[in-house]
Each structure stands twice: as structure tokens, then as C-alpha cells.
Structure 1
Amino acid sequence: MKLKNLDLNLFVTFDAVYTHRNLTLAASALNVTQPAVSNSLARLRDRFNDPLFVHAGRKMNPTPLAQKMIGPTRQALRLLQAGIEEEDKFNPQTSDKVVRIGIGDIGETILLPKLVERLHRFAPLMKVQAFHVPRRSIAKKLALGEIDFAVDIPLPPNPELQNRLLMSDKQVCVVGPSHPLAKKSSLSLEAYLALSHILVSSRQRGSGAVDIELGNLGPTRNIMVRFQHYQAAFHLVQRTDLALTAPLQLTRMYNCHVFSLPLAVPNLDFYLYWHKSTAQAKTTLWLRDLILEAVA
């Protein structure tokens, strides 16, 4: 038997009948009519192929199956009720929630320090866990509650997800402080193409946004190194004559020389995603606003 095919409200009725051993008393406790209780009990009996309760005078005694079911049923109902009450009583100052975020290299570097700083101030007991989540798995993990939020570039439209633009950052070219071009104020397309480049991508293959734009123009750049993370790329820039194209906000964290790109490249847009089933939860609303404020 699969729970997705069963109305979970029936277990509330089951618990009431087990407690009162009488349909009339169970109906009164649930504030419904006796026929409604009888109907729910009939549906459960049909599902489990068991009478669940048998009449003994004015009382209804549970069958062996009902006796086995009552413990797990009450435990599940208590957990559900506790979750509802916890949400109703949400207080950032006392909440010890673990906030799980699916996030990549750029978001982790730019966003998470600001978020953790604010959490320490406004929700000192909350904890943060960050994960790399493959783009194709984000919707599923949000639906299953394995993560609370995701930060990523624009995803394909999904009616199950809600989102807000988190940040939009332009891309620039950087070289190390001792690079031969480090004293120049601008960079021509010819000079850009003459450089040896580092490409940062979480994928094993494929080009970046710059290469797509260059492909439209015709020329290609010389990519010497492919990394997964910008931190390693910036460290390499500082020690070699390699160039790196990166979001502007990241460049402020490193000792490097910054050039505007000599070609039009779209900004890097990052969105905050959450599942629609949690959209009105007090915890989600509070955390969402805190994250948006962190990067404002």
C-alpha cells in the first residue's frame, strides 16, 4: 500500500476511534458528524482489508492489526503536529534550524559569508550547510526537502519552483599584478585573444559565455587551464601570466588588475530558488528576505 494513494486525514479518525472506542464520541472529539466518521472508517477498512474495530456492546474493540497500527500512527501524528506548531511559533532568536542551500562556487564565495554574518546576528542558533547540487537535480531536491534553497543561473521554467533575482554581475578580465599588461588601463580584443586563459566551469566540457560570444564573432581564445573553482584560478593568476574572465565582485577579493572586457558579454544573473510548497512558511519567508538583504 502506498501512502500517496491514501488520505492521511483518515488516520486522525482512526486515532480518535481507537481512543474513544465509540463512533459518537470520536465524532464529537473531531467536531464532525458520526456518518463522516463511519465513512472514514469504512474507507480504512477497505484499504487494509480488515475490520480494524469490532463491536462489543457499546464499545468498539481494536483488532490485532489496529493494535499494531496505533503506535506508529500516533507517533507520525505527533511529529506532524510538532512540525506545525514549530512553524507557527517560529522565532529566529531561538530557532536551531539547519539551513541547507544548493549553491555553486560564485554564490558560495559572495553570498554565504554575508548570510552567515546576518544569521549570527539575528538567528544565532541557526546553522548553514552548503552543497553543490547538479542543475538537473535542483527541483527534485527542493521538492523532497533535501535543500531549503538553491542559488543558480536561470533555470528552465518549472511551475513547482519560485524564484527571485539575487544578483547580476558583469564579467571582467583579470591578470596578476606583475603581468606585462598590468599597467595598462584598457584591453583591446586583439590583446585579449593573445592572452593565455583560465576557464572556470563545474562542467567537464563545454565553453563559457565569453566563448559563445566569440564564436558569434569568429575568433577563439587560447584556454590553457580549466578549473572547477575560482579561488584556485585567482591564485594561479597571481603566480603566472595567465588571464581569467570572472565576475567583478570576485575580483575585489584578490590582488589583481581588472580590465573591462573588449566584447559584449551578458551579465551573470543568479537567482534564489525555493519550492512552492514552502513559499508561505514563516521560516522560508524570513530566510528568503534575509538572503535578499544580504546581497542588496
Structure 2
Amino acid sequence: MSDIDQNKLRKIDLTLLLVFLGLMRHRKAVLVAAELGLTQSSISHSLRRLREIFEDPLFLRRAHGLEPTAVAGALEPKIRQIVETLNQTLSAPGKFEPEKSERIIRIAGRDNVLSRLVPPLISRLDIAAPQMRLSSLELGRDAAMRAVSDGDIDFAIGYYWEYGKELMSDILYTEEYRVIARKGHPLFREELTVESYIDARHILVSEVGDMSGIVDMTLEKTGLSRRVVASVPLFFPALATVAQSDLIGTLPKSLVEKFAPVFDLEWRTPPIEIRTFTIQALRHRRDEKNPFHTWLLDILKQCAEIDRTPPAERPASHQRDQV
């Protein structure tokens, strides 16, 4: 006990630690006050106490907000670990009762994944947890993983071929591809061949604006290439563009077979073999034994099973995660 500064420990309370982490994340006192349900005066008072305890300014005022000092940056991982340990200690013994919970579920993913999971998730919440609410964000891979790590969301859902040791992955479903074109497109009047496929004009979905993806990597292995003339960051703009042009797209199967009728599109199986990919639910290891996250993961797996038997491919007479 001789190495423990008891005076400083007596000055610390959990609210101070939450204020510190909130300021590190938002860099603005007004946002932290709203998040924690405190007044701005309380945030200012907490910051003064933190500066006294750690004998450092911690945050410097700038035009854009508060800038953490080097001491604050070094403290953040230690304080986050303390708060996570306390949270686990407090929540581990409890039993989650969804029918009584007023919690907000927070998930993130690309628009193709959300369009598959959000509708059945809402339906299940109406029955199993009528007081709970759902907040979903359209986030790319890196942003979604950061949000899980920061505790801003419960699950990041998508294709994650690599993630840090602090995150856990559970597979929801396996996805493959379909080729789409507007109704009456000359490409689909005959059998879709490799030659006719690569000669067509393609649209690509890439969250970072790339002009090549998994299809191009697959073609390159056989010495072939296609003509990508447009790139969009989301899947639904790709569907809308294909519906109003002569471009074709190669998009996830579950998205195509559900929404092609809505956009009046036709689809075919690709004439090349493109590797499948898994859609995963990522959570932080701190939530591995959290009853709420265990329950939510089970619900997400149930939602992923919806419409697992897709409609048959239309006959020719009728009809990376970057693709």
C-alpha cells in the first residue's frame, strides 16, 4: 500500500473517467455533456479536477475544439481499460431481459448488409423487445471497426478479412455474386459468356473510389480485364444507375435477388468463378460475456437466415468487398 497515492485515489470517481474518455472522443465539452446527461458546468468542473489530479492541462483549447496533450494521449488506453474492467464487473452477473430493456441497439455496416438485416431485426424487436430502439450507421470497414473499439456501436457487420486481436468475429452468412443489367439489355439476349461480359461497360462499388475490385483481380489471373467506367460508394446507387443506363454490375447475390425486381433489373450467374465471402458480426472482446451482446448476436443470426432460399435465376428469354 505504500506505493499507492491514496490522496489521488480518493479524488477519482467514475464520472471523471467517463468525462475524460468523452473529451478524448468528441473533443467538445457540449457533446460530452449531452452524451453523459450532464451540464457543461459539470464538465468544466470535472476537467478542473482531472487537471489537478494528473498535474497537466490534459486538453488545450483550439478553434476546432479541445486538443489532447501528450499526457492525455498516454492516459487514454489506461483509463479506457479501467472503465471497461469496471463495466464487465458490474454487468457480468446480471441477466439481460429484452422484454424490459429500453436500450438502443447500435450497429454499422454497408448498405447491402443493412438492407438484409434491418427489416427482420425490427420485426423481431417488435415482438421480443418492444421498448428497445435501433440505430444503424452506414460505415465503411475501417470506420466501423474503430466505432466498435471506441464503444460507439455494439456490432460492425460486413466482410472483414483482417481485424485486430481486440475484436471478435462471428459469421452470419456466406455471400456470392450476380451480374445485373436493365431489362432488355442486349447482353442478356443470349448466353452470358466471358467475352461478352468483359466487353460490356461496368459499374464498380467502392467505398474509397477505386476503379478495380475483386472481379478485376479474378480476371487478371487469367490475363483478362474489363471496362470499368464508373465507381460509386454504395450499392443502391449502383442498382439505380444500372436501371437507367447500359452499364452492368456484379453485386452481392442477396442484394440483387431481393431488389432487382424493385429496380426492374435482370440478373445472371457470372461467367467467371469469383470467390465467395463471409458477412461477419464484429464485437469487442470486452463484450464477449455480456448477456446483451450474446442475445443480440443470436437475433442477428436469426435475421441472417431470412430468405436464405433465393428465387430461381431468370431464364435468358426473360430476363475485396469492391466489385
What is the TM-score normalised by the length of structure 2? 0.64
Segments of 5+ residues of structure 1 without an aligned counterpart are 1-38, 51-67, 70-76
Q: CA deviation at 1:224?
A: 1.7
Match of 2:272 in 1: 263
How many correspondences in the alignment?
229
Are residues 241 and 137 of structure 1, via their aligned partners in 2, closer, same or farther at CA, if it must alter by over 3 Å?
closer
Structure 2: state its 5+ residue gaps. 12-47, 50-82, 306-323
Q: Does 1:102 align with 2:108?
A: yes
Which one of the candidate residues 148, 154, 166 is aligned to 1:142?
A: 148
Q: How big is the shift at 1:92?
A: 0.7
By how many angstroms is 1:89 displaced?
Answer: 4.5
Cα distance in 2 for partners of 1:118, 1:147 equals: 19
Question: Amino acid of the residue matched to residue 174 of structure 2?
Answer: S
> Is the 1:139–1:275 Cα contact (8 Å) retained in structure 2?
no
Larger deviation: 175-184 or 264-273?
175-184
Equivalents in 2 of 1:194, 1:87: separation in Å? 61
Pick closer, same or farther for the CA change 1:270–1:49 going to 2, 3 Å: closer
Shift in Å at residue 154 of structure 1? 2.5
Which residue does the alignment assign to 1:156?
Answer: 162
CA distance in 1, matches of 2:222, 2:286: 44
Q: Which amino acid aligns with 1:100?
A: R
Aligned residue in 1 for 2:214 = 209
Q: Secondary structure at the match of 1:223?
A: strand
Pairwise CA distance, 1:268: 2.9
In 1, the alpha carbon distance for the partners of 2:157 and 2:169 equals: 9
Note the aligned Cα RMSD (angstroms).
Answer: 2.8
Name the structure 1 match of 2:297. Answer: 288
Alignment-derived partner of residue 4 in structure 2: 43
| SS in structure 1 at match of 2:221 | helix
Counterpart secondary structure, 1:293? helix
Q: CA deviation at 1:120?
A: 1.7
Instruction: Note the C-alpha offset of 1:135.
Output: 2.6
**Is 2:240 the partner of 1:235?**
yes
SS state of the match for residue 302, structure 2? helix
Q: Distance in 2 between matches of 1:263 and 1:238?
A: 23
Q: Is the 8 A contact 1:197 1:225 kept in 2?
A: yes
The residue number in structure 2 matching 1:245 is 250
TM-score, normalised to structure 1, is: 0.70
In the superposition, relative to structure 1, how do residues 172 and 90 fare at CA in structure 2: closer, same or farther (>3 Å)? same
Contact 2:141 2:160 in 1 (8 A): no
| C-alpha spacing 1:221/1:90, structure 2 compared with 1 (3 Å) | same
Q: Could you say which structure has the larger radius of gyration?
A: 1
